[in-house]
């Protein structure tokens, strides 16, 4: 699917911008100095061979600085530094629900962040959470429409300059990956669901130093599941939406992620 086809497909779904303001045109973006500089930065991407050479010449401290730069918050910076010293190509996890039109931050900023991560030697796995979007009733729960939106988002990231050369960025559809490795995925989900209750999670947070970083991240996922799904605590949740955070926790282990690039609400 090329850019024009993706645009036509998304228009056919009658998707409306959630903002009351009219969408910003490309010319308006380019007339904005910051937007122009961001897009210029994306266009200055190195080839895969150049990136590989540059990464091998970087010190651990330089790689840490690049990776740390993309996050407002980093839990256990010493663990990140130690991991970079031991692992030349850490796996970064970044997931999204295909649920509508792409806004500037989601498009340009994500591409910038992914390019920074790959420049520091990371492999980025972008989890296209089509099943999660269906669980969360996005696009009316219509999986075919959700898939069209997912393709549209991928094409836009390519257009704004996300560096996909060298195989350092991998787009993975959750439905396909889970179906192909169901024997690995569902036991993880069931184990997380069986072991965790909200009262226990709250108590566990007080002894965070004794909990592994990945497990602590999972606790935060479940504790804040309403925020992650764009719901409030007052919303009436379906059983599918309650199941959602357990699956999202399992994703981290399933993808063998070392770094979880997530929003502050996660």
Task: Output the pTM of the full model.
Answer: 0.69
Cβ atoms of 165 and 47 closer than 8 Å: yes
* pLDDT score, position 198: 55
Q: What is the CATH number of domain 60-260?
A: 3.40.50.620
Residue 189's pLDDT is 92
Tell whether the model's pLDDT for residue 126 goes beyond 90: yes
The token duo for 97 is 């629900």
For residue 261, give Cα distances in angstroms to 25, 32, 57, 110, 265: 28, 27, 24, 10, 12
For residue 194, the model assigns a pLDDT of: 86
Q: How far apart are CA 183 and CA 92, in angstroms?
A: 23
């Amino acid at each position: 699917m090329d850019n024009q086809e993706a645009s036509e497909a998304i228009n056919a779904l009658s998707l409306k911008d959630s903002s009351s303001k009219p969408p910003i045109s490309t010319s308006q973006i380019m007339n904005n100095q910051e937007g122009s500089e961001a897009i210029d930065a994306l266009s200055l991407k190195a080839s895969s061979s150049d990136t590989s050479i540059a990464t091998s010449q970087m010190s651990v401290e330089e790689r840490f600085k690049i990776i740390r730069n993309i996050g407002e918050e980093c839990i256990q910076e010493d663990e990140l530094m130690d991991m970079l010293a031991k692992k030349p190509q850490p796996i970064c996890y970044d997931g999204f629900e295909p649920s509508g039109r792409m806004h500037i931050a989601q498009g340009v900023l994500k591409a910038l962040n992914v390019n920074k991560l790959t420049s520091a030697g990371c492999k980025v796995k972008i989890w296209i959470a089509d099943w999660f979007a269906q669980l969360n009733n996005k696009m009316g729960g219509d999986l075919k429409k959700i898939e069209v939106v997912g393709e549209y988002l991928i094409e836009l990231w390519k257009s704004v300059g996300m560096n996909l050369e060298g195989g350092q960025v991998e787009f993975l559809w959750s439905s396909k990956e889970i179906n192909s490795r169901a024997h690995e995925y569902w036991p993880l989900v069931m184990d997380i669901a069986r072991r965790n209750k909200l009262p226990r999670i709250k108590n566990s947070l007080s002894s965070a130093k004794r909990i592994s970083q990945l497990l602590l991240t999972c606790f935060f996922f479940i504790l804040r599941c309403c925020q992650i799904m764009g719901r409030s605590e007052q919303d009436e949740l379906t059983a599918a939406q309650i199941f959602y955070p357990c699956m999202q926790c399992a994703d981290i282990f399933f993808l063998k992620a070392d770094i979880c690039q997530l929003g502050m609400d996660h």
